[in-house]
C-alpha cells in the first residue's frame, strides 16, 4: 500500500486512469495519454499489464453483485491494460469530465468516451471517481516504488503558484 504520508491535497492530487483492453487493441493508448498531457496534468506512473482476476475483483469490489460483473471481468482480462497515475489540481474531477459518462450513449462529444466508443461494456477507459477511491485504486495497481516524484520545469505556466 501507499505510504500514508503521501500528500494528495492541492496540486498533488492523484488519480488512476486505465486504458482498457478494447482501447489498447484499438491503438488508442497514445490518444488517451495525449489528452491528459495536453491538459497539463503530470504523469507519475505508467505500466502495461495483464490484469488478474484478483486485482480486478478488488478494483471492482463495489460491483460484485451487479449482473454485468462477470462479463466486466472477462472484458477487463481480455488483453493488456495500460495503467497510469496522473497528478494535478482537481485531477480526479477533471479526468471524470474528460472521460465522460459511463454510458457512451450519453457521454458528451469531446469526451474520451463520447469520441471513441458506443457501448457501456466497451467504454475504453477507467478514471477514479473520488479522491479516496483514487488513493485506494492507486495502491491496488501500483507499488509506491513505481510512482515517480518529479518537477515539471514550466509549472508556473500551468499552475497559479
Q: What residues act catalytically?
A: 126
Question: What is the spatial distance between Cα 22 and Cα 75, in angstroms, rounded to a whole number?
Answer: 8
**Beta-bridge partner residues of 144:** none
Q: 139 or 152, CB closer to ligand UDP?
A: 139
Residue environment code for 38-72, b if the CB has 16+ CB neighbours within 10 A, otherwise e = eebbbbbbbeeeebeeebbeebeeeeeeeeeeeeb
Pairing of strands 125-127, 81-87: unpaired
Q: Residue 84 CB, nearest distance to ligand UDP (Å)?
A: 15
* Binds ligand UDP by CB under 6 A, chosen from 2, 29, 33, 72: 72
Q: For the chain, what's the residue count? A: 161
Q: In this chain, which stretch among 5-13, 24-32, 117-125, 139-147 interacts with ligand UDP, using CB under 6 A?
A: 117-125
* Binds ligand UDP by CB under 6 A, chosen from 121, 132, 144, 155: 121
Q: Which parts of 34-63 interact with ligand UDP (CB under 6 A)?
A: 63
Question: What is the spatial distance between Cα 87 and Cα 69, in angstroms, rounded to a whole number?
Answer: 29
Q: 11 or 90, CB closer to ligand UDP?
A: 90
Question: What is the spatial distance between Cα 107 and Cα 115, in angstroms, rounded to a whole number?
Answer: 8
Residue numbering of the annotated binding site: 20, 68, 96, 102, 113, 123
Binding residues for ATP: 20, 68, 96, 102, 113, 123
Binding site for ligand UDP (CB under 6 A): 63, 68, 72, 102, 120-121, 123, 126, 129
Amino acid at each position: 500500500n501507499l505510504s500514508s504520508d503521501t500528500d494528495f491535497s492541492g496540486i498533488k492530487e492523484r488519480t488512476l486512469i486505465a486504458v482498457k483492453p478494447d482501447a489498447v487493441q484499438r491503438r488508442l493508448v497514445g490518444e488517451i495519454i495525449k489528452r491528459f498531457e495536453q491538459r497539463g496534468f503530470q504523469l507519475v506512473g505508467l505500466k502495461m499489464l495483464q490484469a488478474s482476476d484478483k486485482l480486478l475483483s478488488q478494483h471492482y469490489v463495489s460491483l460484485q453483485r451487479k449482473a454485468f460483473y462477470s462479463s466486466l471481468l472477462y472484458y477487463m482480462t481480455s488483453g493488456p491494460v495500460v495503467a497510469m497515475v496522473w497528478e494535478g489540481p482537481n485531477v480526479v474531477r477533471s479526468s471524470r469530465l474528460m472521460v465522460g459518462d459511463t454510458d457512451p450513449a450519453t457521454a458528451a462529444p469531446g469526451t474520451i468516451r463520447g469520441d471513441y466508443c458506443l457501448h457501456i461494456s466497451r467504454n475504453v477507459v477507467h478514471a477514479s471517481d473520488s479522491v479516496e477511491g483514487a488513493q485506494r485504486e492507486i495502491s491496488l495497481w501500483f507499488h509506491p516504488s513505481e510512482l515517480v516524484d518529479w518537477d515539471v520545469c514550466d509549472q508556473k505556466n500551468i499552475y497559479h503558484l
